[in-house]
Amino acid sequence: MLVVLKRDYEEVSRQAARLIASAVRRKPALTLGLATGGTMVGIYDQLVRLHKEEALDFSRVVTFNLDEYLGLAADHPQSFHHFMRENFFSRVNIDPRNVHIPDGTIRGNYDQYCAGYEEAIRQAGGIDLQLLGIGRNGHVGFNEPTSSIGSRTRLKVLTRETIEDNQKSFPSAGEGPRCAITMGIGTILEARRILLMATGASKAAAVAKSIEGPITSAVSASALQLHPDVTFLIDEQAASQLTQREYYRQVLEMTALLTPERLS
Ligand code: GLP
């Protein structure tokens, strides 16, 4: 695991966008796993800026989003379809045919639908780069605590904590959805490279458990310790409960010197 410590949200967003941009430049038909949430807004803003200022080209990029709320149609303002359209897709030259987000409106046959989503990822050659945020309880996607480390795309019941956290963004919407369709941890671990972003003090405990704690289904992001190419990109507040910060800084210095491609 590479732990990259940045000063604040702005720096995390810029560095994440730089990493994504160089992956797209290296492989224009990149298969990109995308995430939602407040943490991602700054990253999408930066990618839009790079698209406008440096002609970063998304025309051949294929995307798969991690998750969607069950019961929300694509035009619902609280849906992740809507989030992605507003924050990213409508602002860059992505081909709508290359965009995949789980359908929140499916009814019944969930397993069949989810197997189809997995198949679509396989058909696209697998995910080259997966972006992740993290929930306060350590969830990635909507893999709530106790999700199997081998889990695949499936229907998932949300915890009270997650429902309340996500409610804050949409105070007028009333009681939000209680279930979601999410890629599984096993699905995420098959991505070739994983980039997890976390900012703010509310994420500090989850970040510390994920990086320095035992691998446990009680903290879904701790399963990332099993993956050979994970970068945690975190700000000072989110890093505040890590005990090995000085070591991560040394690793970063040596990485910049010896294997700088890992940082670009
Ligand atoms: C939701 C998403 C996660 C995201 C999390 C954190 O639960 N399903 O993918 O990581 O929110 O969101 P935020 O970045 O707003 O803290």
Asked whether the CA dihedral 230, 36, 154, 234 is positive or negative, the reply is positive
Query: What is the pLDDT, as a whole number, of residue 176?
Result: 81
Q: Is the CB of 43 under 6 A from ligand 1?
A: no
* Residue ranges with strand state E in the chain: 2-6, 31-34, 62-65, 67-69, 99-100, 129-132, 154-157, 179-182, 193-198, 230-235
Distance between Cα 258 and ligand 1 center (Å): 34
Residue whose Cα lies nearest atom 9 of ligand 1: it is: 141
Q: Write down the pLDDT at residue 174.
A: 67
The residues annotated as belonging to the active site are: 67, 137, 139, 144
Joined together, the tokens standing for residue 155 give 């229907």
Residue 208 confidence (pLDDT):
98
Q: Kindly report, residue by residue over 15-57, the tens digit of the pLDDT.
A: 999 999 999 999 999 999 999 999 999 999 999 999 999 999 9
pLDDT in tens, 77-122: 999 999 999 999 999 999 999 999 999 999 999 999 999 999 999 9
Q: pTM for this structure? A: 0.96
Q: Which residues does residue 132 pair with via DSSP β-bridges, in sequence order?
A: 196
181: β partners: 68, 155
The CA 193 to ligand 1 mean position distance, Å, reads: 19
Q: Tell whether ligand 1 has an atom less than 6 A from the beta carbon of residue 35.
A: yes
Whether the CB-CB separation of 7 and 236 falls below 8 Å is answered with: yes
Which residue minimizes the CA distance to atom 6 of ligand 1? Answer: 135
Q: Please tell me the distance from the alpha carbon of residue 92 to that of residue 136, in angstroms, as a whole number.
A: 30
Whether the CB-CB separation of 19 and 13 falls below 8 Å is answered with no
Summary mean pLDDT of the chain = 96
